[in-house]
Structure formats: structure tokens, C-alpha cells
Amino acid sequence: MRIRTVSNALMLLSFAITCSFSALLVDQALGQGAPTNLQVYPKDTTREALVADMRQFAAALDVRCTHCHARREDGRGNDFASDANPNKDKARAMLRMVATINNELLPNVPGRDDPPVVVTCKTCHRGTAKPRLLSQEMLLAAHQSGGQGAVDKFNELKESSSDIGAYDFREGETNTVAENLAEEGKYEDALVVYTMNIERFPESAAIWFGMGSAHENLGHVPAAIEAYEKAVALDPRSPAAERLKELQAK
Ligand code: HEC
Ligand code: HEC
């Protein structure tokens, strides 16, 4: 079965990773004999090899075994063979997807490196259970609770993910959120996000231009002019120059 290649690649990687948080559970799993419910891995995969991969899944998603595995009914430990936790079948779909990417799709890329770059769970997940970009997380939050929701989400993820490196906290990613909100006509929400971003990057012509544009759309002409002027002072080629001319001509 094709998956053998991927699991081998994943196993190779596992030697490089030490993750001790689940050591207890792993010992417990290792003591439970051969796997009985493998649908993606070859049936003869040993428990040791399997659990080495499992530890990598947990590390790649920054989750515990119980993210995908159900607890035993008597509450004592995990029932690893059970499929009661829906994330286990999601993970099976992911295993098949990663196998298809590595074994069927990537070989079509001309002139690949040798050895080739291999896609693993972490390539996408980067230490998050749901591999969303920062801008996607912020937009979801903005759609639920406005511009302040997006700012709160930014601060929460900046605080919680600093060592994982899962998110892009540079100005462009946050500006994307504000631009999206402006495109949706939510200029007030966009301004809340631009305001947070300009506090972090006060020298950014792109942010000042975005703020000017949001103010202009809200009819705040003096504030728009002020923001556009800052943009042009920082970067004379900013599109703010054009907007300024038009506003001042009125
Ligand atoms: C991201 C989801 C995910 C995480 C996290 C995860 N597993 Fe799994 N686990 C699976 C999937 C999927 C299978 C079934 C593979 C198959 O069908 O070939 C499985 C199967 C197993 C099995 C074999 C059960 C059997 O009898 O068939 C064991 C043992 C196991 N996992 C242990 C662990 C341990 C220990 C951890 C924590 C270190 C862990 N798993 C974390 C997804 C996960
Ligand atoms: C090509 C990118 C990519 C790779 C590689 C990848 N995933 Fe995912 N994964 C996703 C996306 C996107 C989602 C969200 C799917 C959805 O619900 O729309 C997801 C969702 C999941 C979920 C469900 C999480 C939840 O809370 O609903 C699990 C579990 C998971 N992945 C496990 C894995 C494992 C284990 C691997 C490695 C074998 C892996 N993924 C590799 C992109 C990827």
C-alpha cells in the first residue's frame, strides 16, 4: 500500500523529535499489544512504529492523544482502537491526503530536489489543530464580533503561539484583514484593525493609506487627509498622493 512510504518518512522524522508530554500514555499504549483497527496503515504495522508516528501527529497539531482518541468507557485511559472520536476519521482522511500529495502529486513537479521535500502534517498544521492563517482566524473573529474581535484574536494568538511560530504577525498579514473588512464595506471594523496595526508599525505608508481610505469611505474627510499626508510623507509613491490631490481639490 502506498501509505507505507509516507509512514516511513514520518517515522524517520520521529527520531528527530522528542516529546515527553505523552510518555505515560505511550507506555500504556505500548503495553496493549498489536493494533486491531488499522484502516490506513498496513495491518502488520507494529505498535511501536505506529505510536512513534502518533507522537508526531500530536506534536504537529500541538494536541494530546485524546484529540483523536476516545477515552475508555470505564474512564481508565484511552481506547485507541475505538473510532468514537470523529477526529480519528478526519486524521485518516489526512493520512490518505498526505500520501496522495507525496506519492502521486509531487512526483509530477519537474526538477525536484534529491532527496525531495516531503510534506508532513506539520507542513500545514505548524502546531495548530486547524491550520488557519492568522488573517483567516482574525476575519472569522471579525465576522463574529467586529474589528475588536479581530484585535482580541490577534493578541490571544500572539500570546499563546509565540514558540510554535504558527502565525505571521508581520504587518502585511494584519493589513489583509483590514482590507478584507473594507471590501465588505465594514469600514469601522477595518479602522479598528488598522489602528492596532499602526500602533505596531507607525512607519508603514501602506497602513496609513488604508486608514485614510477607510476614513474617506466613512466621510471623515479631515481624518482621511491627515492619514493620507502621513502615508505620502513616509512614501512619496504611495497611492495616497492621488487621493490627497482629489480631496484637496474639493
Ligand atoms: C491527529 C490524530 C491522532 C492523534 C493526535 C493520535 N492518534 Fe493514534 N491514531 C490515529 C489514527 C487515524 C489511527 C488509525 C490509523 C489507521 O486506521 O491506519 C490511530 C491509531 C492508533 C493506535 C492503534 C489502535 C488500534 O488498535 O488499531 C494506537 C495504539 C494509537 N493510535 C496511539 C496513539 C497515541 C499513544 C497517541 C498520543 C501520543 C495518539 N495515538 C495520537 C490518529 C491520532
Ligand atoms: C496540505 C495541508 C495539510 C496537511 C499536510 C495536513 N493537514 Fe490536517 N487539516 C488541513 C486542513 C485544511 C484541515 C481543516 C479541514 C476542514 O475541517 O475543513 C485539517 C484538519 C485536520 C484535522 C481535524 C481537526 C479538527 O479540529 O477538525 C485533523 C485531526 C488533522 N487535520 C490531522 C492531520 C494529520 C494527522 C496530518 C498528517 C498525517 C495532517 N492533518 C496533514 C490541512 C492539512
**pLDDT grade, residue 8 (50/70/90)?**
low
* C-beta neighbour count of 235 within 10 angstroms: 17
Cβ proximity of 219 and 249 under 8 Å: no
What is the distance between the alpha carbons of residues 197 and 229, in angstroms, rounded to a whole number?
Answer: 18
pLDDT at res. 75? 87
pLDDT in tens, 91-108: 999 999 999 999 999 999
Q: Pick the ligand that lies closest to the CA of residue 10.
A: 2
What is the distance between the alpha carbons of residues 14 and 56, in angstroms, rounded to a whole number?
Answer: 6
Give residue for cell 521535500: 117
Cβ proximity of 228 and 243 under 8 Å: yes
Q: Pick the ligand that lies closest to the CA of residue 98.
A: 2
Cβ proximity of 49 and 11 under 8 Å: yes
Q: How far is the CA of 69 from the centre of ligand 1 (A)?
A: 7
pLDDT surpassing 70 at residue 21: no
pLDDT at res. 33? 82
**pLDDT grade, residue 202 (50/70/90)?**
very high
**pLDDT grade, residue 32 (50/70/90)?**
low
Closest atom of ligand 2 to CA, residue 88: 29
pLDDT surpassing 90 at residue 168: yes
Region 137-166: mean pLDDT is 95
Q: Pick the ligand that lies closest to the CA of residue 41.
A: 1
- Which range has the worst mean pLDDT, 12-16, 184-188, 213-217? 12-16
Give residue for cell 532527496: 115
Cell of 5: 512510504
User: Ligand 1: residues whose CB is within 6 Å?
Assistant: 22, 25-26, 29, 35-41, 47, 50-51, 54-55, 57-58, 61, 63, 65, 67-69, 80-81, 87-88, 91-92
What is the distance between the alpha carbons of residues 250 and 248, in angstroms, rounded to a whole number?
Answer: 5
pLDDT in tens, 189-200: 999 999 999 999
Residue closest by Cα to atom 20 of ligand 1: 80
Residue closest by Cα to atom 10 of ligand 2: 131
Q: Pick the ligand that lies closest to the CA of residue 13.
A: 2
Q: How far is the CA of 45 from the centre of ligand 2 (A)?
A: 22
Cell of 228: 493620507
**pLDDT grade, residue 250 (50/70/90)?**
confident
Residue closest by Cα to atom 5 of ligand 2: 121
Q: How far is the CA of 147 from the centre of ligand 1 (A)?
A: 39
Region 125-142: mean pLDDT is 97
